[in-house]
Structure formats: structure tokens, C-alpha cells
């Protein structure tokens, strides 16, 4: 709008409140400074304004263990307009530990701090953190001076950190926070995605950067214009160690899935980056709740924490309780399943693929990721063969074969699967030794990984050459 246009616009006589006389561009500028609830409250002023305001209602709420965060979630759940538009909730149920000033300052000068700066983003085209950017950023950060923050800024940020800890403690002491979550969820009729994020550093980096782009729009969460976001949110990786090794509380998962079932929500995505196996130990009592909650799932991302009670973990696997959980979602299009071990992962790798997937077939399964799981050759082949007509993407990471050889698996994948995407990462064991795929990102290992990928995808014909590569890159056990 030119200067002349503005003058003529202001000179006209219009009826109604001044907001109705504002140009669309100015309304957009105003809405960028409003919270979702403030934006939604304009829905009855004018249809044109209401349509603009809808664009500024973020459909994702991010919840942390903080009274203010819970209050905002409840306000959203009770709002007649916004509650219908929320389709995703990210809940970080881990709490921050107390750090004295010295250790707090060490934390804010860490890589987490760097990755929240405007000049660097770890979010790639798929929305996931890019590890190569992460590594490059770390090198850059090491070369920067550490005197960029003034003492007054640090004092203010540390004061906010202490206030946050105090509010967090009050919330946990008051108890009943799970009931507040479930009541809020039951008032979000469009909720389709639930993420219980306990994965710590890398996932937190991605989520923080994503929230940072929504400054001024995010209603629930830590990312605001206050110094806490600038100097304190990197401390989310400094978590107090729970007995369940940072895993999501079984009570939290049970309460959330129960509320989904009671509210009749059609949940499509369920992600729990670390869930203690003890959640499954109650068996039938929990099955009734989660079977109704997971029936409509299209995507599941689940990592099981073994903790140190390996006998209980193995018993839980062998009785099929985890299998029942996974098969309660028969229409999955994407499945990511893995295990996390608190001790030496090879020595204690007891999570067997057969106990997780059995002989079940997901009729729509197109993408699968398997991480830190042991498998029999025939079981892995059987799983891939059952889904050969639908699978388009396979990711295998840090796996071991209790019998058989990986070359036999690769031949089967080449002949039976028609893949658009493939990734093989980490350490792989079979009866003859260990392979290292991209563990150190050397030129030789990148070439090795690339040759195996090309072979499985059909771009390379010579199987003897690939077998020679495997023999050359195999290390004895």
C-alpha cells in the first residue's frame, strides 16, 4: 500500500470498530503478537478477521512439568474454538534437576545453547534433526568466545531457572497432574498425535528449534521471548535421573491412553521415545485400555527400556505382552520399534524380534525401522516377506543375528522387496563377526555402506562383489 493509498484509506468514513477498517496486511502483523487464545477471541468480530486469526492458531501444544504450562493447556482445552483445532500434543514428563550456578553456566555454554541461535537450524526437510549440521555446529561453537552474555543477562536467566524449578517442585508435590492431563485430553476432540518425548538431547534440539520458529504463537511450552528461552532451555538435557532411566512413567502412559479411549479419540500417531517395560507387566488390566486407544493408529514409534531387571524384561517379552501392545494397532502404515539397554548393549541384548512382532502381518505397513534388536535369520526374513507387497522404506540399525548371515538377508531383501528408501546404520553382528556401517563416517565405511545399499536396491548386480565387501569389512567377535 503506497503513501497515497494509506492517506485515502484513513480519510474515508467507515462504521464499526477500528479493527474492521484495517487493511489485511496490518491485521496479519497484529496477529503475530497474539497468543492463540487472544487470536481466537476475535472470531465473532468479523468473518474476514476470524479467517485470518485461524492461521495463527498453532495446532500443536507442548506440555512440560510446570504449573504455567498446565494452566495454559487447560485454558486451551476449555476454549470453544481452539480446542477443536489442536491435533497434536508433545509431553515432556521428565523434570529438570537442580544445578548450582557454576554447573548451570557450563550447561548454557554447551551445544544446546548454540542450536537455539537464529543462524543455525537442525531441522531438515523431513522435520528431523540433521546430525551433520549438529556436528558442524559443535565445531563452530568451540571456536566462539564465551563472553557474549553480560553478567546481568546471566543473573536474570539463572533467576528464571530457579523460579522454574520451584514451580516444577510445587506441581509434583501437589500430585494430581495426571488427572489434569487426562481431563484436558478428553476436551480435545481433534487430537490425533501424542508424543511422549524422553529421548533427551537430539530430540530436544529438534523440538526446541521447531518451537523457536513459532515464538509469539506457541501457547504451551518453554519457548517464549523471555530470557529463559535464550539462556535456560538448553538445560532440558540436564534431567534428574529417575529409577526408570529417563523412561516415560507407566502411570503417565496408562493415564493418557485411558483418556484417549474414554474420549473416543481417533489417535493416528503415538510416539514414546523411551517406555519402561514395566508398563506391560500388568498384562490384561492395561490391555483393555490401550487396545481401544491404538485401534486407529497409522504410525507408532516405540523404544522399550530394559533397565537392569533383565529377568523381568525377558519374562515380559516371552509372555507376549509387548506383542499384544503392538498388534493392538492392526492398521499401521509406519512402525519404529527398538530397545534401550542400560548396560552393555551387546552382552545384554535380549529383545528378540520374534517376541515383538511374532507372525503378525500389518496389511498397510509401508515404513519400518528396527533398532537395537536381536533376530533369528528366518524370523527377520519372514517379517520382511510378509510385508513385501506394501513395504517401501526399511531402516535397520544396530542389529544382531542369533543365527544365519547378513548376506543372506540382503539377498532376500534385494529379490523380494521393492524399496524406495533404505538405511543400514551402526553395528551389525552375525555368526561370523561384526560389520560397522557409518559408525565413524570414514570414506571407506561410507563407500561400504553405499555399495550395500545399491545392491539391495537393485542398482548393483554383482552379489559376489558385495559379499567380498562384507568379508573385507567384517571384524572378529
Examine the pLDDT at 388 and tell me if it is beyond 90.
Answer: yes
Task: Tell whether 281 is covered by a domain.
Answer: no
Q: Residue 370 forms beta bridges with which residues?
A: 337, 396
Q: What is the mean pLDDT of residues 448-453?
A: 77
> Strand 374-376 vs strand 393-403: parallel, antiparallel, or unpaired?
parallel
Task: Tell whether 362 is covered by a domain.
Answer: no
Task: Tell whether 157 is covered by a domain.
Answer: yes
What lies within 8 Å, CB to CB, of 110 at 6+ separation is 234, 237
Q: Which of 108-117, 217-226, 272-281, 436-445 has the lowest mean pLDDT?
A: 217-226
Examine the pLDDT at 350 and tell me if it is beyond 80.
Answer: no
* Between 381 and 283, the higher pLDDT residue: 381
Rounded distance, CA 469 to CA 476, Å? 15
Burial class (CB within 10 angstroms; exposed 0-12, middle 13-18, buried 19+) of 374? buried
What is the domain count for the chain?
1
Instruction: Identify the band that residue 47 occupies on the pLDDT scale cut at 50, 70 and 90.
Output: low
Task: Tell whether 156 is covered by a domain.
Answer: yes
Q: What is the mean pLDDT of residues 288-292?
A: 73
Domain that holds residue 185: 32-237
Task: Tell whether 51 is covered by a domain.
Answer: yes
Of residues 122, 117, 154, 146, the one with CA closest to residue 135: 122
Q: What is the pLDDT of residue 193?
A: 92
DSSP symbols for 225-271:
SSHIIIIIGGGGGSB---TTTTPBPHHHHHHHHHHHHHHT----EEE
Examine the pLDDT at 248 and tell me if it is beyond 70.
Answer: no
Task: Tell whether 408 is covered by a domain.
Answer: no
Q: Give 223's Cβ-side CA count (13 Å radius).
A: 21
Examine the pLDDT at 358 and tell me if it is beyond 50.
Answer: yes
Whole-number Cα distances in Å, 162 to 96, 156, 195, 235: 10, 10, 27, 12
Q: What is the mean pLDDT of residues 372-383?
A: 93
Contact indicator for 200, 246 with CB cutoff of 8 Å: yes
Q: What is the pLDDT of residue 288?
A: 65
Q: What is the pLDDT of residue 309?
A: 63
Task: Tell whether 252 is covered by a domain.
Answer: no
pLDDT in tens, 301-345: 998 876 556 677 777 777 788 888 899 999 999 999 988 765 554
Q: What is the pLDDT of residue 45?
A: 64
Work out the mean pLDDT of the chain and round it to a whole number: 71
Q: Which three cell numbers stand for residue 279?
A: 508398563
**Secondary structure of 146-204 in HEC code, one letter for each residue:** CCCCCHHHHHHHHHHHHHHHHHHHHHHHHCCHHHHHHHHHCCCCCCCEEEECCCCHHHH
Rounded distance, CA 338 to CA 319, Å? 18
Q: What is the pLDDT of residue 123?
A: 39
Task: Tell whether 178 is covered by a domain.
Answer: yes
Rounded distance, CA 217 to CA 266, Å? 26
Q: What is the pLDDT of residue 379?
A: 95
Examine the pLDDT at 90 and tell me if it is beyond 70.
Answer: yes
Contact indicator for 299, 333 with CB cutoff of 8 Å: yes
Amino acid at each position: 500500500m503506497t503513501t497515497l493509498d494509506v492517506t485515502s484509506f484513513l480519510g474515508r468514513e467507515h462504521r464499526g470498530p477500528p479493527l474492521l477498517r484495517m487493511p489485511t496486511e496490518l491485521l496479519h502483523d497484529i496477529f503475530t503478537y497474539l497468543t492463540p487464545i487472544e487470536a481466537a477471541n476475535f472470531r465473532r468480530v468479523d468473518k474476514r478477521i476470524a479467517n485470518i486469526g485461524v492461521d495463527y492458531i498453532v495446532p500443536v501444544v507442548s506440555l512440560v512439568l510446570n504449573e504455567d504450562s498446565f494452566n495454559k493447556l487447560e485454558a486451551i482445552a476449555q476454549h470453544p474454538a481452539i480446542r477443536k483445532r489442536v491435533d497434536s500434543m508433545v509431553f515432556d514428563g521428565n523434570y529438570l534437576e537442580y544445578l548450582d550456578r557454576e554447573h548451570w553456566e557450563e550447561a548454557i555454554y554447551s551445544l544446546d545453547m548454540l542450536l537455539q541461535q537464529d543462524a543455525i537450524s537442525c531441522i531438515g526437510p523431513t522435520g528431523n534433526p540433521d546430525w551433520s549440521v549438529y556436528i558442524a555446529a559443535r565445531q563452530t561453537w568451540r571456536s566462539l568466545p564465551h563472553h557474549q552474555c553480560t553478567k546481568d543477562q546471566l543473573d536474570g536467566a539463572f533467576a528464571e531457572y530457579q523460579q522454574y524449578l520451584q514451580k516444577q517442585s510445587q506441581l509434583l508435590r501437589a500430585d494430581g497432574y495426571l488427572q489434569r492431563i487426562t481431563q484436558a485430553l478428553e476436551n480435545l476432540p481433534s487430537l490425533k498425535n501424542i508424543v511422549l518425548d524422553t529421548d533427551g538431547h537430539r530430540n530436544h534440539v529438534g523440538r526446541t528449534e521447531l518451537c523457536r520458529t513459532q515464538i509469539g504463537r506457541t501457547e504451551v511450552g518453554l519457548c517464549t521471548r523471555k530470557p529463559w528461552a535464550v539462556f535456560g532451555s538448553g538445560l532440558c538435557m540436564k534431567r534428574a535421573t529417575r529409577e526408570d532411566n529417563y523412561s516415560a512413567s507407566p502411570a503417565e502412559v496408562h493415564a493418557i491412553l485411558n483418556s484417549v479411549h474414554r474420549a473416543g479419540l481417533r489417535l493416528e500417531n503415538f510416539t514414546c521415545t523411551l517406555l519402561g517395560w514395566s508398563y506391560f507387566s500388568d498384562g490384561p488390566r492395561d490391555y483393555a485400555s490401550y487396545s481401544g486407544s491404538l485401534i486407529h493408529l497409522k504410525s507408532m514409534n516405540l523404544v522399550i527400556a530394559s533397565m537392569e531387571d533383565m529377568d523381568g524384561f525377558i519374562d515380559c517379552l516371552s509372555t507376549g505382552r509387548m506383542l499384544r501392545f503392538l498388534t493392538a494397532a492392526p492398521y499401521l502404515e509406519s512402525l519404529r520399534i527398538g530397545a534401550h539397554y542400560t548396560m552393555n548393549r551387546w552382552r545384554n541384548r535380549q529383545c528378540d524380534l520374534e517376541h515383538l512382532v511374532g507372525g503378525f502381518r500389518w496389511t498397510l505397513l509401508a515404513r519400518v525401522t528396527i533398532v537395537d534388536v536381536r533376530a533369528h535369520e528366518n524370523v527377520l526374513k519372514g517379517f520382511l516377506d510378509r510385508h513385501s507387497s506394501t513395504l517401501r522404506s526399511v531402516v535397520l540399525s544396530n542389529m544382531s543375528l542369533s543365527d544365519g548371515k547378513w548376506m543372506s538377508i540382503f539377498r532376500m531383501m534385494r529379490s523380494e522387496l521393492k524399496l524406495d528408501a533404505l538405511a543400514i546404520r551402526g553395528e551389525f553382528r552375525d555368526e561370523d563377526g561384526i560389520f560397522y556401517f557409518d559408525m565413524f563416517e570414514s570414506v571407506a565405511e561410507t563407500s561400504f555402506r553405499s555399495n550395500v545399499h545399491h545392491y539391495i536396491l537393485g542398482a548393483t548386480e554383482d552379489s559376489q562383489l558385495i559379499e567380498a565387501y562384507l568379508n573385507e569389512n567384517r571384524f572378529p567377535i
